[in-house]
Structure 1
Amino acid sequence: MLSRNDNKAQIVYFLLSGAVALAIIILAYLSVRTTLDTKLREELGFLQKSYFYVKPTQTWEYNNSWRQIGNKANHLIYSAYFDNRLDVLDAIIDDATRVPIGSLRIIAILPLRFKDSITCIIRYENFLDEFVSLGRVQSMNEHDEQKYAPYSIQCPLYVKRNSTIIYLPQAVAISYPSNRLSQLSPTFVSISYPRDIEQQFMLSRPILSVCVGPLQQNYTDVLRIAEFIEMYRILGARHFYFYHLKASEDVLRLLNYYQREGIADIFAWNIPAALLPDIHYAGIMAQINDCVYRSMVVDNNRYAAVVDLDEILIPLKHNSLLSFLRQCDEGRTSAYVFRNVFFHKLDSNDTFSLPAHTRNRFLYTQLKVRRTLEILPAHHRTKCIVNTKSIIEMGNHEVWRNAPGYSETILPQTVGLLFHYREQCINCKAQLIVDFTARRFGSLIWDRVDETCAQIFKERGLCPLSDADAAAKNG
């Protein structure tokens, strides 16, 4: 006769056995489902590439501005991009008549606690509309608990399976029940496509672009921007994306020069002044993600550096960032993460290597040579170079969501660092060391900045400084 303890042991044994069996069944189901999903995506990928795509016949200037959604003052929409990646779709409907060819990625601003269900209204050139219900959407990760937050909204785009020619939609809007005017009179934004739609499935171009945080607070430091652009050009960057909320006429004069030269694109970042106190850093997460998608979709650039104007990514074992990427990128890295060290703008200037003939004589990278000894840990004020094809959601200091099969690489401190030329010290008692690394570019950067400033400001040949930098110049 079994004792009570034996009965308990048997019950526990059977329960554990059942739990193990259930776990095995669930894992087997997930494995089969994942295999089938992967196979389905591969099959659809071949079908996707067999279509002939036709862009709407409109003028493509690829300019955007923030526009109000319906009758909600701080509900805004900025841009939309055609994303042909099937592996980033959350789910694929296995339908005998309709197949996905990608998605529309919409950049918007909505309340942080937004609870409505979203519907995408996709408009074609013949003014026929297609409605795609999405349900609830989530804000981007970095919002600092402000009242409003940026959103990256994905609308799947399906077509008839037996099609041969695909006429792509012209514009898209979002609507939701609490904003009735968004349903009655939708706010459409044009969809951005590759400049050459026939090249959309080709390998991305091995070009390094630079995404710069929004210029605001009436930014005036022209020389800083000239040095920033020319330094990154020396490091291998080919194209720059600037977004300006508020900048001086001299700054815009410089940026327009680079735009005419085909080196930069300039976009208005016209967030309403009333919204600025209620959204984190002028909606920078929306700007970063708009820039990465723009670089990927419109220009087909493989790489994008996501940085601010006071940050330079410095390779320590290669002549340029581009040569580093060409040598080290094996194709499955979503981001190369550069750890941070600080140089302080108010620190004394070292003018030992200042060329006598130089006219623009205040370049941070050449005069500030003392940095913090401490190298901050990964994801703490770090900045990244990303593979644009791998990004679903990009953050200020790290990748929040990447496409399946990609992962980030944190650079060893001997391979590359982020040189951060900060206005004020965070820890003014931090130990400093002398670092002349950036001076190896001095033979080029001094002359390039002088040449650029002479081209734009012919009267004096000098790029204007901000008031703070003019004071620091005498430091």
Structure 2
Amino acid sequence: MKKNWLIISRYPKRSMGRTLDVHRTQTSRYHPQPSWTVRNKQRASLSFFIVVIFFAVFGMIVFTELFVIDERNRNGGYTMRNGILLYRSHQEKNEYEEDLQGDNFPKALDNGIEALLAGEQFGVPIAADNLKSQGYILPNSMGTQISSGSQINVPLADGIWQNVAGTTNKFFVYSAYFDRREPFNFIRIIGATKTRGHDPVFCRFWYPLLEKNSTKYISTNTTANVKVIRENWNLKYSAVYVNCPLKKGQAVPTAVSIFSKPSPTPTNTLIVNNFYNETQLPTKKYAVCVKPLHYNYDKMMQIVEFIELNRIMGVEHFVFYNHTVGHQVDCLLREYISKGVVTLLPWDLDLLSQKEIRTEGLFAAMNDCLYRTMYRFSHVLFIDFDEYIIPRSKPTLPELIENLQRQRRGPEVGAYSFQNAFFYLQWDDDEWTQDTQDVIALNLVTQKKTRRKSKLHPHKQRSKYICRPEKVVEVGNHFVWEFIRGFVSYNIPSDHGILHHYRICEFGGDDCVKQASTVDRTAFKYRTELVEAVKSVYDNNKDKCDLEDLYMSERQQIAAVPFIDIFNKDFKRLLDPNTR
């Protein structure tokens, strides 16, 4: 007993029952109780068993899901092909068999197609060798379902909005371009459709059967991938890319059509633009892209100043999109078109601006211009009519970019970003306007408005850019959204150049003029040459285009009249008895 009481004395705060347990553990020889170590082992074994059961159940769930997905791919749903997520339904199975979509074209179909290409089925006098000589790929690598000897019901077109029939929501396509950049070749189509939940569509490639003056075509079908262009302001409809993949070695088609499941007969046919020419890649060729002209745009002095000043700074060509313009601008643009200075494309998108899609679908126009200028111009400016990228350290943009590129170290540049500076129109004209009666000079905003906001916007906020189009995948309003791999945007220091933005206060009213400002006469270096160029265009087209007369403002007229003339006029009025 003494020994047991000694054990109890070691645990004075425990209950008697617990003490007796200890006593029994130590005194019982024939009925030993499990120790704490044994109990811990039992608990560990139970935990391990629970973990094994959990992973077994989880594995069964994963296995079941994989089996169900495989069944879905057979009967319809989503599947991955060539790195693109595609949709297939059970009803499409007959028309778009997996065998026909695969890389190995069925041999059973090869013989029929070769006979077709040889003109045996439709009486077309053409041999397969003729197609080979034109660069066409024969059936082994040509692709999916081939229909041949057919006529295209819709005229081939480029740069015109066309409807995709049979879709649940509005779906339009505008232009098509061959994109040869990695990782694989495909036809990239500029379109517009619903931002979320767009309809699945398919591509039909058209290849002519005859070398010249052919109205017969063979065609191949493939599934399209619709990619929404990022800037859509969360509106119902958005600009989109419709991407149609080409197989390895497949020839670039002459045209492409987009169609939906219920409409196997296409209601649109787009010419495929292929501007790549390895021996004639452009160098130091600059172009400008501008969003669609709308609201019957007719500011004839603004557009002439815009074109002529940019030409002085090194730009060779301008791409505009015509939604609605007035008669003066229309006439002037026709003159520029005849000289090869301007490309003007129709823009009649059947979507409500600002309600269904952002500002006349401007992001479709901007990205169309990106691909339309690719491989034709080395650099492209994306700006508006009230904006000018003005170089400060060099006289022209090509000289500026060349100098900056020579000094730069680091990743390859795909675009050059310029900070925005507001030249608010509510601020007074520069003082030189009080000493001239030159109506041309007095109507040039870059010369008379020289006060700007002191603080520049950061890059990507109101900034604009010059890009190398072949290095870009998708452009936005103020910056490039996506480059090809390895290229980045270069933020240009303000001492080399900034964006001059001539506009009224962006939030309405006149409070903006209270902000800190500075006088910036950088654009003065172009004044003499600009005035002469604008005057020449105005004088040569005034009668032909019925251009309005130019006037000085009331303030300018008063400032331009010599003081002695004002004094004499007032003195004569005082002497006139009729005014007494």
TM over 0.5: yes
Indicate the structure with greater helix content: 2
1:371 offset after TM fit, Å? 0.4
Within 5 A, what are the aligned runs for 1:429-444? 429-444=514-529
Deviation at residue 128 of structure 1 after TM alignment: 1.4
* Conservation of the 8 A alpha-carbon contact between 1:172 and 1:191: yes
Structure 1 residue ranges, 4+ long, deviating more than 4 angstroms after superposition: 1-4, 51-55, 60-63, 273-276, 353-358, 459-465, 469-475
Letter matched to residue 435 of structure 1: D
Q: Distance in 1 between matches of 2:556 and 2:171?
A: 43
Identity value in percent: 27
Q: TM-score, normalised by structure 1?
A: 0.76
**Residues 222 and 464, structure 1, Cα contact 8 Å, conserved in 2:** no
Q: What SS does structure 1 have at the residue aligned with 2:382? A: strand
Q: Which runs of 5+ in 1 are unaligned?
A: 12-36, 38-50, 93-101
Distance 2:302 2:455 in 1: 25
* 1:40 matched residue in structure 2: none
C-alpha deviation, 1:153, in angstroms: 2.4
Deviation string, structure 1 residues 423-460 (Cα, Å, up to 9, x no partner): 33446132111111111111111111111111111479
Q: How far apart in 2 are the matches of 1:52 and 1:408?
A: 42
Is structure 2 residue 263 aligned with structure 1 residue 174?
no
In the TM superposition, 1:290-369 aligns within 5 A as 290-297=368-375, 300-329=376-405, 332-350=412-430, 352=432, 356-357=437-438, 359=440, 361-369=442-450
Quote the offset at 1:364 in angstroms. Answer: 0.5
CA spacing shift, 1:132–1:433, aligned 2, 3 Å: same
The residue that corresponds to 2:302 in the other structure is 224
The SS at the match of 1:108 is: strand
Match of 2:361 among 269, 283, 287: 283
Opposite residue 155 of structure 1, the aligned amino acid is C
1:64/1:268 contact within 8 Å kept: yes
User: Aligned match of 1:395 in 467, 471, 476?
Assistant: 476
Residues in 2 aligned to 1:371 and 1:227: alpha-carbon distance in whole angstroms = 19
* Letter matched to residue 472 of structure 2: I
Task: Map 1:180-259 onto structure 2 (within 5 A).
Answer: 180-181=262-263, 183-194=264-275, 199-200=277-278, 202-259=280-337
Q: How does 1:111-126 map to 2 (within 5 A)?
A: 111-126=194-209
Check conservation: 1:362, 1:473, Cα contact below 8 A: no
- Pairs within 5 Å for 1:378-393: 378-393=459-474
Q: CA RMSD in A?
A: 3.3
SS at match of 1:346: coil
* Length, aligned pairs only: 399
Verify the 8 A CA contact 2:227 2:243 in the aligned structure 1: no
**5+ long unaligned stretches in structure 2:** 1-36, 49-82, 84-131, 137-154, 210-216, 559-580
- The Cα shift of 1:54 comes to 5.8
Secondary structure in 2 matching 1:205: coil
User: 1: CA distance between counterparts of 2:156 and 2:539?
Assistant: 29
TM-fit CA distance, 1:169:
1.3
- Does residue 68 of the first structure (1) align with residue 158 of the second (2)? no
Indicate whether 1:418 and 2:503 are aligned: no
Give distance in 1, aligned partners of 2:555 and 2:325: 21
What is the TM-score when the length of structure 2 is the normalising length?
Answer: 0.63
2:221 alignment partner in structure 1 = 131
Matches of 2:163 and 2:554, distance apart in 1: 41
Amino acid at match of 1:112: T
Distance 1:148 1:125 in 2: 34
1:108 aligned residue (167, 191, 204)? 191
- Does the 8 Å CA contact 1:341/1:418 hold for their aligned counterparts? yes
Shift of 1:69: 1.4
Structure 1 segment 30-179 matched on structure 2, within 5 A: 63-71=158-166, 74-85=170-181, 87=182, 89=183, 92=184, 102-126=185-209, 127-135=217-225, 137-158=226-247, 160=249, 166=251, 168-177=252-261
How far has the Cα of 1:351 moved from its partner? 5.0
Q: Give CA-to-partner distance per residue, 1:62-110, whole Å, 9 cap, x none.
A: 852111211557321100011222x2x4xx5xxxxxxxxx321100000
What amino acid does structure 2 have at the position aligned with 1:76? F
